[in-house]
Amino acid sequence: MKIKKLFDDALREHKKVIDGLEAFYPVIEEIASQMSETIKRGNKIMLCGNGGSAADAQHIATEFMVRFRGDFNRRSLPAIALTTDTSLLTACANDYGYDEVFKRQVEGLGNEGDLLIGISTSGNSPNVFKALEYANKQNINTVLLAGRDGGKIAKIARYSIIIPHKDTARIQEAHITVGHILCRLTEELIFIINP
């Protein structure tokens, strides 16, 4: 049956991705540590991306703001997706160009000590690049979730997790899994391990 084959193919590819991510385990732990310290200091996490990556940014921000696990109630954690305000996005794209839509928000909302996560399957999204580039200059910690070879954004992000795959769907599926792992580890660091 075709559906069974599609699931089997996906599982096989997921296993390859997981095996390839083992080298990034220390980076994932360090990012979770940076995220927990950011929140403990009273700063916030910002996220941005385009298309499916925009949806991932919203998804991860929601896990922090609402809750990640149904069996663990805790206070809301400060996170914002820079992908949700259509009036702002369209005004900025119209007045300054689409490459500026996330940088402009980091300029207005970001503070020194915040953390910005850029999500780009190619690692080459110009608007994500500009946002991280600007954030670096403002002492805002930068993280990239990418795929393929990490693209040009990997060269400027402080931390990068690069999904070792070329297929956009597999990269996006891995991004949300990594996002969930970051949420879980960050929660534990804030509320359980070092409350």
**150-161 per-position pLDDT tens digit:** 999 999 999 999
- In which band, very low, low, confident or very high, does the pLDDT at 194 lie, cut at 50, 70 and 90? low
Question: CA 23, CA 29: separation in Å to the nearest integer?
Answer: 12
* pTM of the predicted structure, to 2 decimals: 0.94
Task: In whole angstroms, give the CA distance from residue 87 to residue 28.
Answer: 34
Task: For residue 113, give its domain range.
Answer: 2-193
pLDDT, position 6:
87
Q: How many CB atoms lie within 10 A of CB 144?
A: 25
Q: Report the distance separating Cα 106 and Cα 130, nearest Å.
A: 10
DSSP class of 82: T
* pLDDT bracket for residue 38 (50, 70, 90): very high
Total number of domains in the chain: 1
CATH of the domain at 26: 3.40.50.10490
Amino acid sitting at position 94: N
Question: Residue 175: what are its φ and ψ, rounded to 5°?
Answer: -60, -45
Q: Is the pLDDT of residue 166 over 60?
A: yes
3-state SS track over 52-71 = HHHHHHHHHHHHHHCCCCCC
